[in-house]
Amino acid sequence: MKKASSRAGKNSHKKGDPEPLAVQRSSHSFDVVCIGASAGGLNAIMELISQLPASLNAAVFVVLHFSRGALGQILVDRIKRDSQLHCSIAKDNEQVKPGHVYLAPPDVHLLIKDTIILAHGPAENRFRPSIDVLFKSAAVHYGENAVGVVLTGLLNDGTSGMWAIKESGGQCIVQDPDEAEYPDMPLSVLQSVEVDYILPLKKMGQVIGKIVKEKKRTEQNLLR
């Protein structure tokens, strides 16, 4: 496991960087784990989701690039075979709940507040759904309660969204490019963001579980 120290802080904005986000202070009692993948991503997502425990105090959101004609329910059925969490295709205005995995439907953007928002806006980074769109909405509305995960894929979708999560105080994880089937997306993030973890797939579930538990423990201590 490679852990990358992060020196980027709230006031680290540089010329040429995206403008700082207007992050809302999170009042949520659970985290959100946002996963993005493209080429080679289905098997990677299946492996990662299978590692997450049923007791995970987080809602999990997945954006996977696939064709407009793809049948989302077939993908959900494959992902949930070995999952201990409830898996479904995200629905507009659906309440966000911990212990659930929400898969972005084909050809619409997935955004999150207290509820799910499905939007037919223009493609970003050539894709709809876009990983960046999901990550940025998580950064704004969940702040330090957001965890971003970028897996295998081509091009650079997810990079600016991961930057947003980092700036909001969230945690950033990328798949080790040395094992990713298509390393472009992890490498793109690493070139622009000082991530918290660079991990092989087999260790991601354990680390995500640890992050979520530590956040919950910290919140409990603050309430005492």
Residue 122: CATH number of its domain: 3.40.50.180
pLDDT at 10: 36
1 is a domain residue:
no
pLDDT along the chain (224 residues), means of 10: 47 46 68 97 95 96 84 83 94 97 95 96 94 98 97 97 98 98 98 98 97 74 51
- DSSP letter string, 47-60: HHHHHS-TT--EEE
- What's CA 47's distance to the chain center, in Å? 15
Inter-axis angle of helices 201-223 and 41-51, nearest 10: 50
Is 114 labeled as catalytic in the residue annotation?
Answer: no
Residue 117's Cβ-count burial label (10 Å; 0-12, 13-18, 19+) is middle
pLDDT at 45: 96
7 is a domain residue:
no
Is 65 labeled as catalytic in the residue annotation?
Answer: yes
12 is a domain residue:
no
150 is a domain residue:
yes
Q: Structurally, how many domains does the chain consist of? A: 1
Q: What is the pTM of this model?
A: 0.87
C-beta separation of 139 from 162 below 8 A: no
Which residues form the domain of 43? 29-223
Is 157 labeled as catalytic in the residue annotation?
Answer: yes
Q: Which of 26, 31, 65, 109 is catalytic?
A: 65
pLDDT at 181: 97
Q: Which of 26, 38, 137, 168 is catalytic?
A: 38
Q: Which of 157, 160, 168, 188 is catalytic?
A: 157
pLDDT at 110: 98
